[in-house]
């Protein structure tokens, strides 16, 4: 360590060499099972899950991650019983009301991706307020995926491309990877380097299908409400040991 460099935190000193991923996305799964294991209603798990969100955002910023994207509610989660959807919307409302001031003080830029038209209007107002208030922040970019589905996102991008082609703004043969990526809700950030999913399931569940073309995956058995900074650090350690080849040959 250079004499004039900043002191290394213990975790950084022990971590294997290699880059910190710029963009980490997390499929926060297992709230219901966590609650069931404790004989509690599912909402109990969702409440504890919100606390894990708080810890994780702080840890991600401290660990030098630039973009953190959290899958909080999928377009398919609307199929859950109305009471559970109501509880989740209530928690979301509370999060937006209570956390934004502190996120803003910590220079976090808050963004929300997903189908806003499906959300209650007061939540849309809170989202717009949070995004506007934090827009110029230069710390961690926290993107919350709400009522998000990757297939709907791709269909939406396709509709925009068709409209642009029909209006003469875009040549049909200019439709390439970049033209599509630029019309996705994630256009403001790089593709995720790492996707973490808790709770043992090894699937994307309609999350970032396009953006995950070369993403590394870490699947954890623990449920989301138990997720700690140490779990994030271990996932980053696993990521550092991966050999990302993007289709090139080895050696
Ligand atoms: C994740 O936990 C939270 C949401 C999907 C909203 P789950 O509610 O999916 O919990 P499990 O998977 O049923 O245990
Ligand atoms: C994915 O979890 C969505 C979120 C974590 C918000 P689900 O629990 O909805 O996914 P499936 O149904 O197990 O695939
Ligand atoms: Mg689940």
Domain spans of the chain, in order of start: 19-149+194-204+220-240
Tokens of 148: 């998000």
Question: pTM for this structure?
Answer: 0.94
Q: Is 74 in the pocket of ligand 2 (CB under 6 A)?
A: yes
Residue 250 confidence class, pLDDT cut points 50, 70, 90: confident
CA distances to 32, 72, 146 from 88, in Å = 12, 9, 11
CB of 86 closer than 8 Å to CB of 73: no
Residue 14 has a pLDDT of: 55
Please say if the pLDDT value at position 6 is more than 70. Answer: no
The CA-based diameter of the chain, rounded to the nearest angstrom, is: 61
Burial of 6 (0-12, 13-18, 19+ CB in 10 A): exposed
Question: Is the model's pLDDT at 2 over the cut of 80?
Answer: no
Question: Rounded mean pLDDT of 208-229?
Answer: 98
DSSP state of 172: G
Is the CB of 225 inside a 6 Å radius of any atom of ligand 1?
no
Q: Is the minimum distance from the CB of 26 to ligand 2 under 6 angstroms?
A: no
Q: Known catalytic residue: 29?
A: yes
Q: Which residue in the list 4, 37, 77, 221 is annotated as catalytic?
A: 77
Looking at the CA of residue 27, tell me the nearest atom of ligand 2. Answer: 5
Residue with CA nearest ligand 2 atom 12: 205
CA–centroid distance, 154 to ligand 1, in Å, is 24
Is the model's pLDDT at 5 over the cut of 50?
A: no
Residue 24 has pLDDT above 70, yes or no: yes
Q: Would you place residue 97 in the very low, low, confident or very high pLDDT band (cuts 50, 70, 90)?
A: very high
Is 77 noted as a catalytic residue in this protein? yes
Could you give the percent of the chain with pLDDT greater than 90? 91
CATH number for the region 19-149+194-204+220-240 comes to 3.40.1180.10
């Amino acid at each position: 360590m250079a004499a004039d460099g900043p002191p290394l935190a213990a975790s950084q000193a022990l971590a294997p060499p290699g880059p910190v991923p710029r963009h980490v996305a997390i499929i926060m799964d297992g709230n219901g099972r966590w609650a069931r294991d404790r004989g509690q209603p599912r909402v109990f798990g969702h409440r504890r899950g919100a606390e894990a969100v708080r810890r994780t955002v702080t840890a991600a910023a401290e660990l030098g991650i630039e973009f953190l994207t959290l899958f909080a509610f999928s377009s398919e989660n609307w199929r859950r019983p109305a009471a559970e959807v109501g509880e989740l919307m209530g928690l979301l409302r509370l999060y937006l009301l209570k956390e934004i001031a502190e996120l803003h003080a910590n220079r976090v830029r808050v963004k929300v991706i997903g189908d806003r038209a499906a959300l209650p209007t007061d939540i849309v107002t809170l989202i717009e307020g949070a995004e506007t208030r934090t827009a110029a922040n230069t710390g961690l970019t926290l993107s919350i995926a709400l009522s998000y589905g990757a297939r709907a996102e791709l269909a939406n991008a396709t509709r925009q491309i068709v409209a642009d082609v029909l209006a003469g703004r875009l040549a049909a043969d200019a439709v390439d990877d970049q033209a599509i990526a630029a019309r996705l809700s994630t256009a403001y950030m790089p593709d995720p380097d790492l996707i973490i999913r808790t709770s043992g399931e090894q699937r994307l569940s309609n999350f970032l299908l396009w953006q995950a073309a070369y993403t590394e995956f870490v699947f954890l058995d623990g449920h989301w409400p138990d997720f700690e900074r140490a779990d994030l650090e271990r996932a980053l350690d696993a990521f550092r040991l991966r050999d990302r080849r993007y289709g090139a040959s080895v050696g």
